[in-house]
Amino acid sequence: QKEVEQDPGPLSVPEGAIVSLNCTYSNSAFQYFMWYRQYSRKGPELLMYTYSSGNKEDGRFTAQVDKSSKYISLFIRDSQPSDSATYLCAMSSGTASKLTFGTGTRLQVTL
């Protein structure tokens, strides 16, 4: 069993929809949680960064962390075709520890 599980999709939604992307994890030591966005043939770029539990909002994006359930989510409101990409969750236990990525969920936002 992988430390971080993520549904690979693909997930197809119409423009304007609310998108929910999720990851589960097994390592209770994880404290730092990230969402990276990766466009085709590009490197990942950091989208959201959260420490410990709680919510964080940035424009149309909201990241949620539920450490008790070992579950993290990324919500995208008013989705746009430009949001079409692969979304990777990533997490770390902190100092000097490696970053563990999920497999990524491919999202397609259609007109």
Q: Which residues contact 97 (CB under 8 A, 6 or more apart)?
A: none
Residues 31-90 that bind another protein (CB under 8 A): 32-34, 41-46, 49, 51, 88, 90
Residue count, binding to another protein (CB under 8 A): 28
Rounded Cα distance between 1 and 19, Å, is: 26
Residue 101 within binding range of another protein, rule CB under 8 A: yes
Which residue in this structure is represented by tokens 């404290």?
31
- Closest contact distance (angstroms) between CB of 75 and another protein is 20
Alpha helices for the chain (secondary structure H): none
Nearer to another protein (CB atom), residue 34 or residue 76: 34
Rounded Cα distance between 68 and 52, Å, is: 11
From 24, 73, 103, 108, residue interacting with another protein (rule: CB under 8 A) = 103
Rounded Cα distance between 74 and 104, Å, is: 12
Window contacting another protein (CB under 8 A); options: 11-19, 55-63, 72-80, 91-99: 91-99
CA R_g for the chain: 13
Nearer to another protein (CB atom), residue 43 or residue 59: 43
Contacting residues toward another protein, per CB under 8 A: 4, 6, 8, 32-34, 41-46, 49, 51, 88, 90-92, 94-99, 101-104
